[in-house]
Amino acid sequence: MPPGISGMRMGLLRRLGIGLAAIVVAAAVGWTVIGPDWRAFLSHQPYGRDVLFWDLGQRDAGFRMLDKVPFIIKSSEIQSDGDVRPLPDGDPLVLDVDIDAYLAGNRTSGLVVIQDGKVRLERYGLGFRPDGRWTSFSVAKSLTSTLVGAAIADGAIASINDPVANYIEELRGSAYDDVTVVQLLTMTSGVAWNEDYDDPDSDVAKFDTLTVEPGKSAIATYMASLGRAHPAGQVWNYSTGETNLIGVLVSRATGKPLADYLSEKIWKPYGMQQDASWLLGSDGHEISGCCIQASVRDFARFGQFILDGGATGAGQILPDGWLDSATQKQVDYGVPGEGYGYQWWTWDDGSFQADGIFGQGIFIDPARNLVIASNSSWTSALGDRDGEFEARKAFYKAVQRAIDSSTQ
């Protein structure tokens, strides 16, 4: 063998060795930071905080690990305490739809159906697992509004009819001067806000880009800069900014970070199985209109907590009548049979839902003692491009029919 060939082979082996070592190190770091989903992350790395404009592969990878990549978005832990509320198995649902086709077409990562406190259907897709945590997007709004009820019960907030500027000083002298807490809850402040998920210049895309002085809320400062579009209390306008203000309100009133307050009031005493997390804004405050990461089972447990009337092992945490008001139509936004409560979407048949973009949802039907928790990665934010939104509504109806037929 010519000596040059031997040297080339040794150099190649050394380069291969270095390359393999780098792969092993990258895999070890990926596993340590991200966990078993590290391959998906490396294949479709989501860059930056602008999740609205990630491509489909980045969303599939990123939605299961937003809280595991701290150089993209930081988060606070919502702690459980290990005393887990059981979810026993019930009789399997017999549906009149092709469940596999539905899950694939709706790009569902996780689905848990609870009826009479028992799991009657549980499925996973997109490589997601029961022990994983998926982001909630605006499902968090309904949890945030529930914390307002808890803060009222604790005496930290005096009344939903209080001016919100009484609690958030950055809003004084702004269009929010005459806006009440209940008008935030029902999104009827009348303050201008653009929630266009496809527009990079919309308020929902820009609210977290503001730099403020230490000790001030970035979202409150941004919202204080907005003008008035309508008189307060007269016009409904969907605004994640309003819910973000609600979160600031709860934190200021209770003196506690939202993640800690949610853990104290619900996550621990109700017996959630896993720790969850809440994404933080640029000012270090939880983005309360969005983005709690939890298991599908724990999202379902939250739905059951609502069905249970807001009671935990530590007792009732909500004021009398809170859920009756929160989950019933307070605002008619023009769609027959539908409405908006305190950050809950409502139907005239008594059912209601926490809803988040790209297919996140907790559907609750008290008449059937039913909870449907689901997470997805739709092809568009509202599920209107490929029909996922309507398909999910049809699936809810199929579950209701199955329950009705089994009880006849």
CATH number at residue 222: 3.40.710.10
- Distance of CA 334 to CAs 35, 190, 384, Å? 45, 17, 18
**Does any domain span residue 371?**
yes
Same domain? 315 vs 386: yes
pLDDT of residue 198: 83
> What is the model's pLDDT at position 206?
79
Structural domain span for residue 48: 3-69
* Residue 288 contacts residue 243 (beta carbons within 8 Å): yes
98 is a domain residue: yes
Same domain, 53 and 170: no
Neighbours of 325 (CB within 10 A): 15
Residues 107 and 14 grouped into a single domain:
no
Say if residue 54 is in the same domain as residue 100.
Answer: no
Averages of pLDDT over each 10 residues, the chain, 408 residues? 43 41 37 52 60 88 83 86 95 96 98 98 97 97 98 98 96 96 98 90 79 80 94 96 96 98 98 97 91 97 98 94 98 96 98 98 98 98 96 98 90
Are residues 256 and 208 part of one domain? yes
Distances (CA, A) of 206 to 52, 120, 198, 219: 11, 41, 12, 10
Q: Are residues 110 and 58 in the same domain?
A: no
- Among 27, 45, 69, the domain boundary falls at 69
Tally Cβ neighbours within 10 Å of residue 90. Answer: 15
Residue 350 lies in a domain: yes
Do 88 and 65 share a structural domain?
no
Give residue 37's pLDDT.
59
Residue type, position 102, single letter: Y
74 found inside a domain:
no
**Domain co-membership, 279 together with 164:** yes
**Do both 160 and 47 map to the same domain?**
no
Count of CB atoms within 10 A of residue 74's CB? Answer: 14
79 part of a folded domain? no
pLDDT at 52 (0 to 100): 80
CA–CA gap between residue 7 and residue 250 (Å, rounded): 69
Q: Do 53 and 102 fall into the same domain?
A: no
73/66 Cα distance (integer angstroms): 7
Number of domains in the chain: 2
Residue after which a domain boundary falls, among 16, 46, 69: 69
Q: Where a domain ends, among 29, 45, 69?
A: 69
Report if residue 103 sits inside a domain.
Answer: yes
- Its pTM stands at 0.88
Residues 56 and 170 in one domain: no
Q: Is 78 within a domain? A: no
On whether both 274 and 202 belong to a single domain, the answer is: yes
In a domain, residue 277? The reply is yes
